[in-house]
Amino acid sequence: APSRAGLRSRRASVRAGASRVPAVAAADVDALPAELKKIIGAFQMVPDPMSRYKQLLFFAAKLKDFPEEARVDENKVPGCVSQVWVVPRIEDDKVYFVADSDSQLTKGLAALLVTGLSGATPKEIMAVEPDFVELLGLGQSLTPSRTNGFMNMLRLMQKKTLEAFMAAEAAKEEA
C-alpha cells in the first residue's frame, strides 16, 4: 500500500497540474487549421476555468441560425447528452459548418468547432486529433459526458466532411 506521504505528494502534483494547460509539441499545433489555432491561443490566454467557461458561452451567442429542416437524425451528434446538430457545405474546396444545440454550454462547444474548422480544407479537418481539446484548458470545466460529446461532435464533423467531399468530387466528375 502507498505511504501517506506518497499519496500527499501525488495529490499535490495532481492539484498543481490541474490548472495548467498541457504543453503540446509545436508540430501538433502547427497541423491544426488556422482558426482553430487562434481559438486555442485565445483560450490559453484566459487564466481561470470560470473565464474559459464564460468564453464558451460567448461562442454560443455568436453561432449563426441553424436551418430548422436540418434538425434531422442524420445531422444529430450521437452519444451526446444534449441534442446537437451539425451540417457541412463545401465551397471552393473549403468546408463550412453550421451547428446548433439545445444546451448553451454544448452550443458553445459546437460553436468553437464550427468557428475553428470552417474555412479549412477537408484534409485539414480530417487531420485534427481529438486530443487538441487538452490545449483549450477546459478539462476542469467539462464533465466526462460533455468531453465525450465534444469528441463525438468532432468525429461527426469529420465524417460529414468526408461525405460532403466525396459528393462534391463525384459531382465534379459528372460535370
121-159 as b/e, with b when 16 or more CB fall inside 10 Å?
A: ebebbeebeeebbebbbbbebbeeebbebbbbbbebbbe
| pLDDT at site 156 | 97
Q: Is the pLDDT of residue 20 over 80?
A: no
Give the residue numbers marked as catalytic.
80
Residue 4 predicted with pLDDT over 80 = no
Q: Which of 21-25, 53-57, 115-119 has the highest mean pLDDT?
A: 115-119
Q: Which of 11-15, 52-56, 111-115 has the highest mean pLDDT?
A: 111-115
For cell 451526446, the residue is 80
> What's the pLDDT score for residue 69?
96
Single-letter amino acid, residue 87: V
Residue with cell 490545449: 135
Q: What is the mean pLDDT of residues 60-66?
A: 93
pLDDT of 46 strictly over 80:
yes
Residue 109: the pLDDT is 95
Residue with cell 476555468: 49
With 0-12 / 13-18 / 19 or more C-beta atoms within 10 angstroms meaning exposed / middle / buried, residue 108 is buried
At residue 163, the pLDDT reads 96
Over the stretch 84-115, which tens digit does the pLDDT of each residue have? 999 999 999 999 999 999 999 999 999 999 99
pTM above 0.85, yes or no: no
